[in-house]
């Protein structure tokens, strides 16, 4: 499985992961809703289970993805400051380039 994290997203995620209360946790990306040929995604801090794959990214942030969810393979995590500050998770490899 593959996962990409933009530079902006990595900065925000690293600050959260480095908090003492999050020690030992990793970023989990999950499918929150799926319909038709695309999915909507969510994030949380969690630990990996036997049903997960831990994906190392080029930003030195490990991401937990469920092995049983093909819509997670190829996700991209971005962080935007405008027009509204926040994360955006898409999967360009599955034809999902943003919310509709």
The answer to whether residue 64 sits within a structural domain is yes
* CATH number of the domain to which 16 belongs: 2.60.300.12
Q: What is the pLDDT, as a whole number, of residue 78?
A: 97
The answer to whether residue 54 sits within a structural domain is yes
User: Side-chain half-sphere of 19: how many Cα atoms within 13 Å?
Assistant: 9
Domain region containing 46: 3-94
The answer to whether residue 22 sits within a structural domain is yes
Average pLDDT for runs of 10 along the chain of length 100: 97 98 97 86 97 97 96 96 93 70
The answer to whether residue 99 sits within a structural domain is no
The answer to whether residue 100 sits within a structural domain is no
How distant, in Å, are the alpha carbons of 28, 29, 72, 74, 98 from that of 32? 12, 9, 11, 16, 14
Domain tally, the chain: 1
Q: What is the pLDDT, as a whole number, of residue 100?
A: 42
Task: Decide: 94 and 76 in contact? Cβ < 8 Å.
Answer: no
The answer to whether residue 23 sits within a structural domain is yes
């Amino acid at each position: 499985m593959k996962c990409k994290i933009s530079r902006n997203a990595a900065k925000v995620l690293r600050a959260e992961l480095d908090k003492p209360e999050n020690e030992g946790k990793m970023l989990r990306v999950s499918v929150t809703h799926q319909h038709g040929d695309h999915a909507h995604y969510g994030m949380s801090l969690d630990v990996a289970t036997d049903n997960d794959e831990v994906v190392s990214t080029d930003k030195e942030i490990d991401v937990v993805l469920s092995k049983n969810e093909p819509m997670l393979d190829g996700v991209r995590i971005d962080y935007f400051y405008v027009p509204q500050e926040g994360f955006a998770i898409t999967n360009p490899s599955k034809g999902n380039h943003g919310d509709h």
